């Protein structure tokens, strides 16, 4: 789970009726750096390679469905940056979907 995701989980209590699903056994546990958004000065190719690995982990994750449901219920301002529930963050450099993309 990403550092940003952990922070988002902490803010989940702010959502009316919000519940945090059981992420036990999540493929991302301990691999936060793969999922986080690009760092200052980090080459785009390196970020893309990290995110490719993160998306691949998500696709094989036993809790992906619960993660997707949880992520889709988050208001956009509370969604952590980076790969979330098997989806890439929107980027201005990517031509798909009018300038942004999700994997």
- Taking only the tens place, the pLDDT of each residue in 47-74 is 999 999 999 999 999 999 999 988 888 8
- Give the count of domains, the chain: 1
Question: Does the pTM exceed 0.85?
Answer: no
State which residues form the domain around 26: 3-99
Q: What is the pLDDT of residues 13-38, one digit of tens each?
A: 454 445 667 788 999 998 989 999 99
Question: Residue 94's pLDDT band (boundaries 50, 70, 90)?
Answer: very low
**pLDDT tens string 32-52:** 899 999 999 999 999 999 999
Q: What does the alpha-carbon distance between residue 26 and residue 32 come to, in Å, rounded to a whole number? A: 12
Contact 58, 86 (CB under 8 A): yes
């Amino acid at each position: 789970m990403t550092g940003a995701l952990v922070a988002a989980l902490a803010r989940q209590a702010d959502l009316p009726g919000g519940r945090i699903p059981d992420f036990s056994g999540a493929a991302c546990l301990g691999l936060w750096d793969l999922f986080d958004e690009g760092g200052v000065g980090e080459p785009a190719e390196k970020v893309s390679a990290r995110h490719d690995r993160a998306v691949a982990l998500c696709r094989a994750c036993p809790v992906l469905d619960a993660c997707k449901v949880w992520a889709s219920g988050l208001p956009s301002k509370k969604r952590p940056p980076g790969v979330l529930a098997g989806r890439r963050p929107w980027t201005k450099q990517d031509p798909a979907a009018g300038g942004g993309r999700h994997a």
